[in-house]
C-alpha cells in the first residue's frame, strides 16, 4: 500500500445551490476530509484562488492534489480529471554527481532516470572549498543557483524522457549530504566544518518547489532526508532505509565511502554512527586518472605475479580512459600481491621495470600505454595517487575499528556489512580486504546496496512509513564525532600499511615482511 | 488562561558540543516541543535561516515566537530576550469603516484603539458596486491594495499610540463580512452576489502578513473569522461569540443591521441564520444627511406633539452636522408620533408647517436650520431618505418574522435579543419598535452588544477556545437564503407601514388610522 508524498484524490462534490451555500473551497475540503482520516486539508494562501477557481471551473468534479507536509494534508491544486500520471522525482544530491529517477507516485513504477555532474564543481571540487566559497560575498547564492540549475536541468531531462511537462513533476525528495542540503536550501554552511561541527538544520521541514525557484510544479513538496550530523547526511539515512539496518535482529554495519567514509553499526535496538574524512582518492574526478564509473573506466585489474602482465576490464568494454574507484582498489591490491609496491604503498623501484617512469611529481606507473588507451594518453597511477589511497584506506579501517570498539562489537560479530554508493556497486570486497581497507571477513558478509541514497529518496516519495521512520531514525542514532577523537588518530597511524601493522588482523592476506 | 494566536516562549537550550551535535534549528525545536504538547513546531522555509541564525546569534538563549496555525505550531522567529510586549491587532473590517485595537497578547490588555474610513469607498460606497468594480480590469487588485493600505495605516496609528514599531505587531485577527474578506485576500468575489450566492471560501486558513503585503511583522499570522454565507460573514460569527448565543439554554436572537440585516436565532442546541438587504438608509455616509456616529451627529430627537418643537442631542454636544442611524430612527419615530408623517411614511403636507420645503427631489423636512447647524447648512430629512428608511425597516421586520416562522418560534419565546453594531450601541429599541422595525417586546429583552465584530476579533487573538469554537459554529449554523424566499417577499410588503399593516402585532404603538 503506497502512501505517496502527493496524491490525486478523485472528487465529485454536490453542486452549490440555494439550499447548500457552502463556499467553493469549504465544499471541496468537506468532501476530501473523509479520505484524509477525517481531517480537513489546509490550503496555503498562495494556492487558495487557484484551487477554488479550478474546482469551480471544472464543475466541482475532478481530482484534488494533496501534499503530505509536516503532519498536515495540504490541498494545492485541482484538475478537471485525475492526471494519467502523477510524477515525483527522487534525487540523490551528490557532491560531484546528481542522479535522479522519475516515479509514478500511484504505482511506484520508474518512468525515467538521469544523471548529471553537480554544477557547483566550478566553485570547488570538494565540499570544504565550497563551504569557504559560500562565505565570500555572493558565494552562497552562487552555489545555491548552481545546484538549483543542475536539478532543473535534470528535471527537464526526466520530463522529456517521460513525455511530460516539467511542471507535471509534482513532488521531489532529496537525499544528500548535510552540506549539499545546506547549499540547496541556501542556508549558511559556516559551522558545518568548524568545531563542534553543527548544522544549521538536520531535519528541514518540507518546503514547496516554488520557494526554491525549481521549475517543477511550484506547489510540489520538496522533502529532505534528515541528517544526523555535519558529516552524516540524509544520504546515509537513505542507506539505513534501503538496507533495513534499523530492523535487523542481529548487529549489522553500513559503510558508505566517498570523500568521507560514513559508517553506522547497530540493529533494531540501537544504532551508532560516525564519519571521517577518507580523502578524495576514491572520488572519480579527483584522482589524476580517476573517473566516475562510466564507459571507458577500468573497473577490474589483474596482474600476473610472475610475468607482470596486466589484464583489465573497462565498463562498456571499450578502450580505457581512466580508473574508477573500484578499478583503483583492484589495481593497488594487485600491485601489492605482485609485489610491485611495498607494505607502505611505495613503488618498489627494481620490480616494476619500464612501466615505472619518473616524472616531475615523482614516480608514475603506466597501467595502459597511450597506444592502447581511448585518447592516446597513457593511463597512469602516480605515487601521489597511491599515497592518497593509502590515507583513504587507513582512514576507512580506523573508522571501522574505532566505531566497533566504542560499542564493544568485534568485526566477527557482524552479521552483515552493507556497502553503499558507487563504491559498493563496483568494488570487489576481496581486494579491499587485501589493502586492509575492509575487515578480513568471509566475502558473503559483504552486501552491496547500490545507490542507496537514491533508493531512500524513492521510498520517501512513495511510503509515508519511510518518511516517518527516517525522522525517528535521526533521533535514534548516536553520533560520534571523529574529527577530534584520539583513538581514531592512533588507529589511523596503525592502518597506513598494507594490510595493517598488525597483520594478525588480516590472516587471509599474504604478508611480505621486511622490505 | 489565555492561549493567544502568537506566543513568546522563553528558551535556554543546552549549548552545542562535540557530544551534542544536533543542528541549531533541531536543538531549538527539541526544547520547545515539551511546551507545545510534545509536538515539534514547524518552521516555514522562508523563516528557517532567520530563526536558526538568530537562535545561534543569541547564544541559544532567548525567546521563540510561535504562531498557532491550522492545527500546527509554527516557529517563526527568535529574539534574544522575551519581548516586553507581544502585540496583536484585532480588526473589525467594515464596509465603510475599519476599527481596530492593539492588544497585549500575554495579558489581554488593550494597548491602543483606532478607526479609519475604508479606503475602498473611492471605488464604491456599497459592496455591490465594489464587486462590480472587481470584475473590471485591475479592479480586484485596486480594491485589495486600497484595503491593505487602510489596514497598514491603522496599524501604524496603533503602533505609534503604543510606542511600538509597526513590525512589532505580531498577529492580526480579521472580522469582516464575506465580501470584505474576499477583497482583503484578493480573491474573486464574482459569485457572492449571484444566485446561488456562493463565496470562494468561508473559512480561509490563516496566512502570514507578509503574503498580503501588510506592514506588520511579515511572519504575523492573519486569522479570519469564518463566514456562513455570502451575506453572513465573520463579523456575525464574532457577534455570536461576543453574545454567547451559542451557549444559551433558552432561545435568543442576534440582530446586526447595516446595509444588510443579518439575524441569527437559536440556543446551545441549534442555530439558524439569515440575511437580507436592508438598504443603505441606516449606513451613515449613504443617506443624504446621514453620517457616522461621531461628533456633531444627532443621535437623539424629541418632537413635542403639540407645539412641533424639536429637541435634539448631538454626540459631543456640539452643533449638529447630520444624523447618525439612531438619530434617524428617533427622528422618524417622533415624526410619526407627532403625526407629521403618515403610516406609509409620507410627510403630511398640512402638518409640518414651514419646516417642510419642496425641492427638486421632493419634500424635505428641516430638522435644524442653517443658523443652528455646525456648517451653516440645514440638517434635513428628504422624502427620499424617508422612503429608504421605510424599506429598510420593512426588510428588517420581514427578515425577523420569516426566520422565526421557519423554526416555529414566536417573538414572545425569545429570552433575549442581542443588537450588534453601531446600530445596537446607539439605538433606542423603543423608537425602533414604534417604527415597526423590531418586535413589540419588553425593552429589557433587548441588549446591545456594542461592536461585537471587534470583540470577536479580540477573543480570537487571545483564546484558542474561541478560534476552535467559531470554526465549529460555522458548521453548526443552518443558513436560509432570503434573496429568493417567497415568504420574505410577502412579509416585506406587509411591513411597509408604520408600525405594520397588522397593527395587532404592535399593541404598544399608537395607531393613527385612516389618513
What are the pLDDT digits (tens) for A124-148?
Answer: 988 999 999 999 999 999 999 999 9
Give A21's contacts in chain B (Cβ within 8 Å): 196-198, 229-230, 479, 481
Per-residue pLDDT at A401: 94
Query: Is the pLDDT confidence value at A514 over 70?
Result: no
As a whole number, mean pLDDT of residues B3-23 equals 95
- CB pair distance less than 8 Å for B21 and A71: no
Q: What is the share, in percent, of chain B residues with pLDDT greater than 90?
A: 77
Contacts of B208 in chain A (CB under 8 A): 45
Q: Is the pLDDT of residue A486 over 90?
A: no
Average pLDDT over residues B133-155: 98
Cα(A440)–Cα(B305) distance, integer angstroms: 115
- Residue in B closest to A21 by C-alpha: B198
H-helix or E-strand containing B6?
strand B6-12
Reference A287, options A390, A432, A372; nearest CA is A390
Query: Does the interface predicted TM-score (ipTM) exceed 0.90?
Result: yes
For residue A336, pLDDT over 70 is answered with yes
pLDDT at residue B248 is higher than 80: yes
A chain contacts of residue B196, beta-carbon cutoff 8 Å:
16-18, 21
With a CB cutoff of 8 Å and minimum separation 6, the contacts of B251 are B265, B266, B267, B409, B413, B414, B415
Provide the mean pLDDT of chain B. Answer: 92
C-alpha distance from A19 to closest chain B C-alpha (Å):
7
Q: Give the pLDDT score at B52.
A: 98
Of A48, A198, A201, the CB nearest to B16: A198
- Residue A237 and residue A257: Cα distance in Å, rounded? 14
> Per residue in B402-459, pLDDT tens?
999 999 999 999 999 999 876 666 778 999 999 999 999 999 999 989 899 999 999 9
By DSSP bridging, strand A97-104 and strand A110-117 are antiparallel
Where would I find the H helices in A1-44?
A: 24-32
The pLDDT, as a whole number, for residue B129 is: 94
Each residue's pLDDT tens digit, B358-399: 988 889 999 999 999 999 999 999 998 899 889 889 988 999
Best of B26, B192, B232, B275 to disrupt the A interface (most A CBs within 10 Å) is B26
Residues in chain A: 515
Residue with cell 470583540: B455
The pLDDT of residue B285 is 41
Lowest mean pLDDT, pick from A186-190, A446-450, B278-282, B289-293? B278-282
Residue A428 is predicted with a pLDDT of 81
**Closest-CA residue of chain B to A477:** B22
Res A460 pLDDT > 60: yes
Contacting residues of A for B52, CB less than 8 Å apart: 187, 200-201
Selected residue of A16, A44, A205 to mutate for chain B interface (largest B Cβ count, 10 A)? A205
CB A436 within 8 A of CB A157: no
CA dihedral of B223, B225, B226, B230, whole degrees rounded to 10: -120
pLDDT, residue A285, reads 41
CB contact under 8 A, A45 and B212: yes
Per the CB < 8 Å rule, is A48 touching B208?
no
User: What percent of chain A is modeled with pLDDT above 70?
Assistant: 96
- In chain B, residues with a C-beta closer than 8 Å to the C-beta of A46 are 211
pLDDT at position B500: 93
Chain A residues close to B17, C-beta within 8 Å? 196
What's the whole-number mean pLDDT along residues A263-273?
A: 96
Is the confidence at residue A286, as pLDDT, over 50? no
Q: Is B39 exposed, middle or buried (0-12, 13-18, 19+ CB in 10 A)?
A: middle
Q: How confident is the model at residue B283 (pLDDT cuts 50, 70, 90)?
A: low
Look at residue B286 in the predicted model and tell me its pLDDT.
Answer: 43
Q: How far is B222 from chain A (nearest CA, A)?
A: 11
More confident residue, B149 or A95: B149
Instruction: Say what the pLDDT of residue B289 is.
Output: 64
Contacts of B230 (CB under 8 A, 6+ apart): A21, B178, B179, B191, B192, B193, B197, B198, B199
Residues A338-362, mean pLDDT to the nearest whole number: 89
The residue written with cell numbers 598488525 in the block is A502
Cα B193 to chain centroid, rounded: 19
B-chain residue closest to A178, CA distance: B23
Residue of A nearest to B192 (CA): A23
Please check the confidence at residue B10 and state whether its pLDDT lies above 60: yes
According to the model, what pLDDT value does residue B279 have?
Answer: 59
User: Which one-letter DSSP state was computed for residue B95?
Assistant: S
Q: Which of A18, A43, A51, A78 to mutate to test the interface with B (most CBs of B within 10 A)?
A: A18
Task: Please give the angle made by the CA atoms of A410, A413 and A415, to the nearest 5 degrees.
Answer: 140
- Report the C-alpha dihedral over residues A398, A400, A402, A407, rounded to 10 degrees: -170
Q: Is the peptide bond before A513 cis (omega within 30 degrees of 0)?
A: no
Per-residue pLDDT, averaged over A152-177, amounts to 98
Q: How far is it between the farthest Cα atoms of chain B?
A: 98
CA-based nearest residue in chain B for residue A187: B49
Element (H, E) at B390: helix B383-407
**Which of A45, A188, A234, A481 would best serve as a mutation to test chain B binding (most B beta carbons within 10 A)?**
A45
- Closest CA in chain B for residue A51: B200
CB < 8 Å to A476, chain B: none
Instruction: Find chain A residues with C-beta within 8 A of B74's C-beta.
Output: none
Residues of chain A with Cβ-Cβ distance to B19 below 8 Å are: 481
Beta-carbon count within 10 A of B128 CB: 14
A200 to B25: CB separation less than 8 angstroms, yes or no:
yes
Q: Do B196 and A17 lie within an 8 Å CB cutoff?
A: yes
What is the pLDDT at residue A423? 67
Per DSSP, the three-state class of A89 is: strand
Each residue of A295-335: pLDDT tens digit?
Answer: 899 989 999 988 889 999 999 999 999 888 888 899 999 99
- The single-letter DSSP state of residue B445 is G
Query: Across A353-494, where does the E strand assignment appear?
Result: 356-359, 362-368, 379-382, 416-420, 446-448, 477-481
Average pLDDT over residues A72-86: 96
- At A219, is the pLDDT very low, low, confident or very high (cuts 50, 70, 90)? very high
Write the residue in B16, B53, B198 that is nearest to A16 by C-beta.
B198
Average pLDDT, chain A: 92
pLDDT bin (cut points 50, 70, 90) of residue B136 is very high
Nearest Cα residue to A330 out of A364, A300, A296, A308:
A300
| Gap between the Cα atoms of A164 and A85, Å rounded | 9
Comparing A280 with A494, the larger pLDDT belongs to A494
Long-range CB pairs of A203-207 (<8 Å, 24+ gap) are A203/A227, A203/A471, A203/A474, A203/B23, A203/B26, A204/B25, A204/B43, A204/B45, A204/B48, A205/A69, A205/A70, A205/B42, A205/B43, A205/B44, A205/B45, A205/B48, A206/A67, A206/A69, A206/A70, A207/B44, A207/B45
- The pLDDT value recorded for residue A435 is 94
Measured between beta carbons, which residues in chain A are less than 8 angstroms from residue B13? none
Instruction: Name the strands in the sheet holding A297-303, side by side, starting at the edge strand that comes first in the sequence.
Output: A310-314, A297-303, A322-323
In this prediction, residue B514 carries a pLDDT of 56
Inform me whether the pLDDT recorded for A153 exceeds 70: yes
Interface with A, mutate which of B23, B48, B193 (most A CBs under 10 A): B23
Amino acid at each position: 500500500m503506497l502512501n505517496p508524498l502527493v496524491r490525486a484524490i478523485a472528487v465529485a462534490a454536490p453542486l452549490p445551490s440555494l439550499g447548500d451555500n457552502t463556499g467553493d473551497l469549504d465544499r471541496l475540503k468537506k468532501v476530501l476530509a473523509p479520505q484524509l482520516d477525517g481531517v480537513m486539508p489546509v490550503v496555503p494562501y498562495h494556492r487558495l484562488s487557484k484551487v477554488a477557481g479550478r474546482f469551480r471551473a471544472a464543475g466541482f468534479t475532478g481530482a484534488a492534489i494533496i501534499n503530505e507536509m509536516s503532519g498536515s494534508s495540504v490541498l494545492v491544486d485541482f484538475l478537471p480529471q485525475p492526471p494519467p500520471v502523477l510524477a515525483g522525482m527522487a534525487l540523490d544530491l551528490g557532491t560531484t554527481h546528481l542522479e535522479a529517477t522519475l516515479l509514478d507516485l500511484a504505482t511506484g513504477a520508474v518512468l525515467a532516470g538521469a544523471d548529471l555532474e553537480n554544477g557547483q564543481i566550478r566553485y570547488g571540487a570538494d565540499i570544504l572549498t565550497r563551504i569557504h566559497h559560500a562565505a565570500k560575498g555572493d558565494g552562497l547564492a552562487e552555489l545555491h543557483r548552481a545546484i538549483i540549475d543542475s536539478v532543473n536541468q535534470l528535471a527537464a531531462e526526466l520530463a522529456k524522457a517521460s513525455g511530460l511537462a516539467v511542471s507535471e513533476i509534482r513532488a521531489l525528495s532529496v537525499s544528500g549530504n548535510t552540506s549539499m542540503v545546506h547549499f540547496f536550501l541556501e542556508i549558511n554552511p559556516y559551522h558545518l566544518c568548524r568545531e563542534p561541527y553543527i548544522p544549521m538544520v538536520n531535519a528541514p521541514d518540507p518546503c514547496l518547489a516554488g520557494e526554491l525557484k525549481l521549475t517543477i510544479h511550484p506547489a510540489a513538496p520538496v522533502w529532505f532526508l534528515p541528517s544526523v550530523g555535519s558529516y552524516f547526511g540524509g544520504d546515509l539515512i537513505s542507506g539505513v532505509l534501503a538496507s533495513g539496518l534499523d530492523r535487523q535482529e542481529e548487529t549489522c554495519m553500513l559503510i558508505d565511502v566517498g570523500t568521507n567514509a560514513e559508517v553506522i553499526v547497530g540493529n533494531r535496538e540501537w544504532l551508532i554512527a560516525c564519519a571521517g574524512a577518507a580523502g578524495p582518492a576514491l572520488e572519480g574526478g579527483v584522482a589524476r586518472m580517476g573517473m566516475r564509473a562510466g564507459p571507458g573506466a577500468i573497473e577490474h585489474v589483474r596482474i600476473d605475479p610472475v610475468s607482470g602482465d596486466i589484464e583489465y576490464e573497462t565498463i562498456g568494454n571499450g578502450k580505457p580512459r581512466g580508473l574508477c574507484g573500484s578499478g583503483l582498489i583492484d589495481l593497488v591490491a594487485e600491485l601489492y600481491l605482485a609485489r610491485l609496491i611495498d607494505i607502505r604503498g611505495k613503488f618498489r623501484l627494481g620490480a616494476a621495470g619500464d612501466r615505472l617512469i619518473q616524472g616531475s611529481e615523482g614516480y608514475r606507473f603506466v597501467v595502459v600505454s597511450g597506444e592502447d588507451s581511448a585518447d592516446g594518453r597513457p593511463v597512469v597511477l602516480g605515487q601521489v595517487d597511491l599515497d592518497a589511497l593509502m590515507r583513504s584506506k587507513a582512514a576507512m579501517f580506523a573508522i571501522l575499528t574505532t566505531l566497533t570498539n566504542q560499542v564493544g562489537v568485534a568485526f566477527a560479530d557482524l552479521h552483515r556489512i552493507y556497502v553503499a554508493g558507487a563504491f559498493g556497486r563496483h568494488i570487489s570486497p576481496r581486494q579491499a580486504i587485501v589493502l586492509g581497507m575492509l575487515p578480513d571477513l568471509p566475502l558473503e558478509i559483504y552486501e552491496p546496496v547500490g545507490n542507496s541514497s537514491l533508493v531512500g529518496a524513492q521510498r520517501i516519495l512513495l511510503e509515508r512509513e519511510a518518511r516517518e521512520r527516517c525522522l525517528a531514525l535521526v533521533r535514534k542514532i548516536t553520533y560520534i564525532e571523529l574529527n577530534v577523537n584520539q583513538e581514531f588518530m592512533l588507529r589511523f597511524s596503525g592502518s597506513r600499511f598494507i594490510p595493517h601493522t598488525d597483520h594478525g588482523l588480516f590472516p587471509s592476506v599474504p604478508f611480505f615482511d621486511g622490505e
